Structure 1
């Protein structure tokens, strides 16, 4: 067997000058390898530069604050405009409509027993988070994800988390009303549109229904039920019979009553998937466990 570094006897050997020249001149493989590495480095550098440039641009959600302005309308404020908001408020001074300031105060008063249980150094952060939740749901059937145009919609999974948060801070009735909204926009087959317009309950586009909403909604009903019965001894699950029946039936049908994984589809990232993700399997399991607790 002929090795690479020992040429056949018929191949003429090079003299020392040829050898020195060969050593000084890189091989074709070395040149190609170097070129690939160089291109890769350039690509990586471009990717890093692009990522840094993107990070420097204002984020359309995290850099926007929703608030009632002097006109009395709810608007999305950039960081500079939001600086004139009073501390612990989502209502501009001298708002033309006194309603938002009054409703904001009533909302915080309802949360006060829970806020009073927090360590003093966490209260400011908690109030800020609660006010964001308030301003994105005030006088709406359910909270929207943000006030920037592309996020001004109701997502079932977001509403589920918001309902649990509201119940835990002492606003169970508001939590139930948000869950009743989900019942009203649910399809007859138990599916939920990925997102709907708050004013009409209709989807703004044809994006695919997302299976994780089923489990998360069942989890939310179970959690709000648990908080309500512990604090008031009453629960409004009877008003959600249609929601529970449709959701559980679809969950059972598409998992063979829990014996198989949920169908492949988008999760909260809302991108096309080729296999089942934890973002679908986890909420599905949580939903089934919650349904067991409810029944």
Structure 2
């Protein structure tokens, strides 16, 4: 199932949008010529060993994995290179580093029997769900993205944003996308485990900080609360529940997720201004101090209320459904009124657009906000970068760098609104700019080189979600390669 229509949604939301036809519209403003900034590739990918060990690969290592896994092939490893040992200082470029799970001796990586056992377990996990993109030219991209997500999810449900030290934390936003991607590929138990972790770190008032330590012991810094996390958690929770067909399992998931859903819904309802129906400013996916309300905060909160509405209606918790429905209606109207006439810019006061135009579309909203389909098609022109991807927004620094999560958001928007060729084009670009180990990096430089952390879990989960949406299009009769 996918976003099943409920009695409440029919009454509240109306008819679905018509598919868009082209991505860019005439009159869009191209991005200014950038400078060509240089950023290192901090690592080439990740690997797994044994039951729970996660390793970060140095940037100059092109890994050879055993099929269907992120287990390094012992036959492709250089014993002399491994003899110098794993990197105890966790340097950025030189050595293999165990960053989570059990400690390892280097000879364990050379043990073919241990490697085969680990790879067999990985292949069994893949077989228990669906490999996104199977049978298409995106088969390897989809399997690699799913395996990287799986590798970066720890046994306690903590979904690491990336393996490098400054990213080795759990963002509620990124984790919500990971859980949704697991559910959409048949790995509901993993999805629930990721959402369980979010509930375990949720603040007593239902809020979320920007990010958390992976052992659930607290926050790593003073970034403070970031309200879009509540919206994403609610959207993700409904995505997960909506994928469960067995009535008993669905009821169990409702019960399991109720504390997260109730606390998040109450927090979001409490954020909305009684007069304007809008939330206060908050940091969003740009990770900068807020100066005013952004679409990157308002749209995820709307997606969360829509998710809460569906969850409560599906569970026949009608009083809660009514509260969520009223708030969603008011917030939707307020976002359309404040952002819509200006083409859905980043800020409520106007100005350049950013990738949050995609948040006003399916699969985040059950139907596109008024004018949002035109906005996301036009916004890409001002965000394009020399290598062919996009920046986080038109107002982002002009450094020539493409960002893969925002590029993948455009792919997902295309797939979800019927723009199959657009989605495939973005997926092709992401596929072509992976590291030598097959990981999707966070950034791509102006010359096309992968940069920063690889893999980035948010980008991997967005690729998985895009491929799952394309599978839906195939099931509906579209022709895919």
Q: TM-score range by the shorter chain?
A: 0.7 to 0.9
**Once superposed, what is the RMSD of the aligned Cα atoms?**
2.6
Aligned pairs for 1:1-295 within 5 A: 51-54=35-38, 57-60=39-42, 63-68=43-48, 73-86=53-66, 88-94=68-74, 95=109, 96=111, 97-98=114-115, 100-111=118-129, 114-115=130-131, 118-229=134-245, 234-235=250-251, 236-256=253-273, 259-295=276-312
Contact 1:183 1:242 in 2 (8 A): yes
Task: Find the aligned partners of 1:108 and 1:59 in 2 and give their Cα distance.
Answer: 28
1:210 deviation in Å?
0.6
State which structure, 1 or 2, has the greater radius of gyration over its C-alpha atoms.
1
**Gap regions ≥5 residues in structure 2:** 1-32, 75-108, 313-481
- What is the TM-score normalised by the length of structure 1? 0.73
Alpha-carbon distance in 2 for matches of 1:257, 1:67: 50
Residues 229-271 of structure 1, C-alpha deviations (whole Å, 9 max, x = no match): 3697624121122212211111011104795211112101110
Deviation digits for residues 12-45 of structure 1 (CA, Å, limit 9, x no counterpart): xxxxxxxxxxxxxxxxxxxxxxxxxxxxxxxxxx
**Larger proportion of helix:** 1
What SS class does the counterpart of residue 147 from structure 2 fall into?
A: helix
CA distance in 2, matches of 1:231, 1:116: 25
3-state SS in 2 of match to 1:210: coil
Q: Deviations over 1:55-104 (max 9, x none)?
A: xx3233xx53011369x942211343133444653111233555643432
More moved, 251-260 vs 158-167: 251-260
**TM-score normalised per structure 2:** 0.46
Is the CA contact 2:68–2:119 (under 8 Å) kept in the aligned structure 1? no
Cα distance in 2 for partners of 1:81, 1:140 equals 29
1:116 deviates by 8.0
> Which deviates further from its counterpart, 240-249 or 255-264?
255-264
Q: Distance in 1 between matches of 2:53 and 2:230?
A: 34
Query: Structure 1 residues 294 and 84 mapped into 2: Cα distance closer, same or farther (>3 Å)?
Result: closer
Conserved? CA contact 1:107–1:134, under 8 Å: no
Task: Say how many residue pairs are matched.
Answer: 240
